[in-house]
């Protein structure tokens, strides 16, 4: 199979996280002449897991990706999405107070990656995306997530409402984060199972999803810009939930 037709990711840390997560690799390309502790750790992981690797000139890696590949490109099977029911059921079985993110219209892969990274750091369980109109999980998204997208469960659904209905039936509180309300994030109870809906920076959360929410909350703004990047906003909300759960 041609390399261009394969799903790939790049960067030392994302590739190591993917190996540890048990992802299936077609092959790994390594820059000739590489050395150092992190590289030797990666090499050891590849050998222990029986993953084929090949040393190639830097020019070949530079042609394959635009980003900072750090001398490592891994070609893998495409991301395995899970059914939303499985994601939700697993979240409840592995955590007393699980946290899930629903992305309504977020199309930038770097925002998706950044949100995934924060969610994994905050102890969250998964992300639910629309099958159409949402960000794709590609090499750039995985790189931005520092490998978190290889560890989190991700579901893609034809209609986000289906997932929201199931979340509600499963005991999750649905919280939309929107600038259109005066109630602040600190006023919402986030101590139990929560699913946070984040919308696109342009259009925000759709009215249909707002109507399904149990609560609608805003992040306080004092500056003249009065808006945060969606990944930054998601981070603020997730760590308010962490604060409440720890308290």
Which pLDDT value is given to residue 142? 85
79 pLDDT band, cuts 50/70/90, is low
3 pLDDT band, cuts 50/70/90, is very low
Rounded Cα distance, 188 and 173, in Å: 10
Tell me what the mean pLDDT of segment 15-38 comes to: 88
Task: Assess contact for 142 and 150: CB atoms under 8 A.
Answer: yes
Mean pLDDT taken over the chain: 90
Query: 63 or 100: whose pLDDT is higher?
Result: 100
- pLDDT 10s digits, 189-211: 999 999 999 998 788 999 999 99
CATH architecture of residue range(s) 84-246: 3-Layer(aba) Sandwich (3.40)
Which pLDDT value is given to residue 45? 92
Task: Assess contact for 147 and 45: CB atoms under 8 A.
Answer: no
pTM for this entry: 0.75
Which pLDDT value is given to residue 140? 84
229 pLDDT band, cuts 50/70/90, is very high
Which pLDDT value is given to residue 241? 97
Which pLDDT value is given to residue 7? 75
Q: What percent of the chain has pLDDT over 90?
A: 64
Homologous superfamily (CATH) of 3-76 is Ribosomal protein L30/S12 (3.30.1330.30)
Tell me what the mean pLDDT of segment 50-64 comes to: 88
Residue intervals in the chain for CATH 3.40.1280.10: 84-246
Query: 240 or 140: whose pLDDT is higher?
Result: 240
Rounded Cα distance, 31 and 54, in Å: 8
Rounded Cα distance, 190 and 151, in Å: 23
Which pLDDT value is given to residue 232? 96
What are the Cα distances from residue 117, in Å, to 46, 79, 208, 242? 23, 16, 28, 15
Residue intervals in the chain for CATH 3.30.1330.30: 3-76
């Amino acid at each position: 199979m041609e390399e261009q037709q394969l799903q790939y990711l790049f960067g030392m840390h994302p590739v190591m996280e993917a190996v540890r997560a048990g992802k299936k690799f077609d092959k790994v390309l390594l820059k000739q002449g590489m050395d150092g502790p992190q590289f030797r750790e990666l090499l050891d992981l590849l050998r222990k897991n029986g993953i084929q690797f090949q040393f190639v000139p830097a020019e070949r890696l530079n042609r394959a990706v635009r980003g900072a590949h750090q001398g490592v490109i891994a070609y893998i099977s495409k991301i395995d999405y899970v059914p939303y029911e499985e994601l939700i059921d697993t979240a409840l079985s592995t955590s007393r107070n699980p946290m899930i993110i629903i992305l309504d219209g977020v199309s930038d892969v770097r925002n998706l990656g950044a949100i995934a990274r924060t969610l994994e750091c905050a102890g969250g369980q998964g992300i639910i995306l629309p099958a159409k109109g949402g960000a794709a999980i590609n090499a750039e998204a995985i790189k931005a997530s520092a490998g978190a997208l290889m560890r989190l469960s991700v579901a893609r659904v034809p209609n986000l409402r289906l997932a929201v209905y199931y979340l509600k039936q499963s005991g999750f509180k649905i919280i939309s984060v929107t600038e259109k309300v005066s109630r602040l994030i600190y006023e919402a109870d986030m101590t139990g199972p929560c699913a946070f809906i984040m919308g696109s920076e342009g259009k925000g959360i759709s009215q249909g999803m707002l109507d399904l929410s149990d609560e609608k909350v805003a992040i306080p703004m004092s500056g003249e810009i009065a808006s945060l990047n969606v990944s930054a906003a998601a981070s603020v909300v997730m760590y308010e939930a962490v604060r409440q759960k720890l308290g």
